Chains A and B, each alone.
Chain A
């Protein structure tokens, strides 16, 4: 039996309290994008030491030999486990892609992959994603976080018509899909 999703206002109060606790204990907030940037750097350096000549990659190894020895990396492992346990308890654990009914799977995967690449490039410029920049920055009153969030929302809105077919089902046929 699948449980219902939380009310958004309730979810916000719980998440906001968790964000506060995280800052109050660890002195920093949530993050995610840095983990994958570090993992990429670690993989590259392990396969070819000459990557240390790249200033950006090298910046991850200032404190030691392992780019993954980092708070946000551990936190990201927690995010994965939290998502898993929550879905398990809610009866929502299922291996499947998320897409509008009838949207071709290969196209869905293509957009997910390209979207991922664009998102990561963007987070390197912006020094964080919707967590590390958006939530943490807005919670600490940073002006930059607001610039980033407004730009992100604007970018998504301006380009949303191009991806409408992927997300919006037009003229839903009554009783079409069981």
Chain B
């Protein structure tokens, strides 16, 4: 991994202490004298966003969004009330009204049918096993009322980030990229780019979770640097870097810089792919989309619970759905990856229902495991709970969502993989994707292809058959049978590169989700 300078953990923001102190009272208002049949928690989310965009038209933004959710799980149904009216008096009144509503709905003589949920205590969590990142942050003499905080290691303190600082970095980046692209255009005698946009953004997320067993918080700084080159014909290419950490991680790599400054220009002269089946090497971005769409969404517990995933029957019947190299991991508490000392934006210590992050293999050499779950899905399916209960924001419902999803790494170098291709393409840069959990098919987009003939890159690039991006689409099972080889990683824990990303469930509910993996050589994929 890359050597780092001194880092310290992001601390709990003191301005939230009053609200934190109030939260146990709110939980008590909700569940007092009903603990034997109800389970309640309070969840507070604060997201501070700072952003600077440097382009022909510049902009800047600073926003703060903060809201609280009260949850009562009663007889299998989750009742939630959420608000951003956060003064103490309003909150107490609001909690009391919610309780009165629930009391009316569930009078003392109500006959409960579903088993009551009992949250784990800290000692039970420790007995179950926690990784070092947790253990080293736990105070001694832990009790259910102990305020526990988890922070991410950062070089640059995210609390000191200002828009002015972001502007300085974005402006310098854009100037550098414009200069490099002009030089490339001049040397290659191609038209200059119409525009380069540079954006640097930091989100500082703080979550507080309080139930009868835990009072814990986490601070998650998510830093991102993105640049897009736009040609005079409207072709564009982007470079993007970032993840969970301070601004020190929002730095474009040389490869990203080349993508923006050179490949945008090259795309104007790209050929158009003839639709068909080709040998493909997917880069970490495209590999990640395949993992995410293949047995990521299909392994979401609420999708199983609703009978909407093909995976439940396949798991029950112990059917193999991929070859020995088809292994996919769900990794919420991922704080290093490949050669980096930070995790992706999909990482956290606990999910939005207070479940602590633990790594889970969701597809092991072609065999499916039980699914990722939120609390409701785990109880409905009688499978272990995992830290995958997430919501877009305090305004939206909980669903089972992915955190970081990646294919495990292999034993080859990229050069060796390229050497194994007779006639095919390298698909390095992703362009969306979509799941079909019931149908077991997937589609993953690539911005363009780079041609490989007889084990060598030819230097030619191709867009889709109609001049846009390229879709890679196949039934999941046949696709996962066609993994030929995978590249290796230098990471101590064998975690490959996981890219900064986001995910919608079908067409809505956007959340942070990292996805990635090694370079993978596929025997053939339908491309169009």
Chain B binds chain A: no
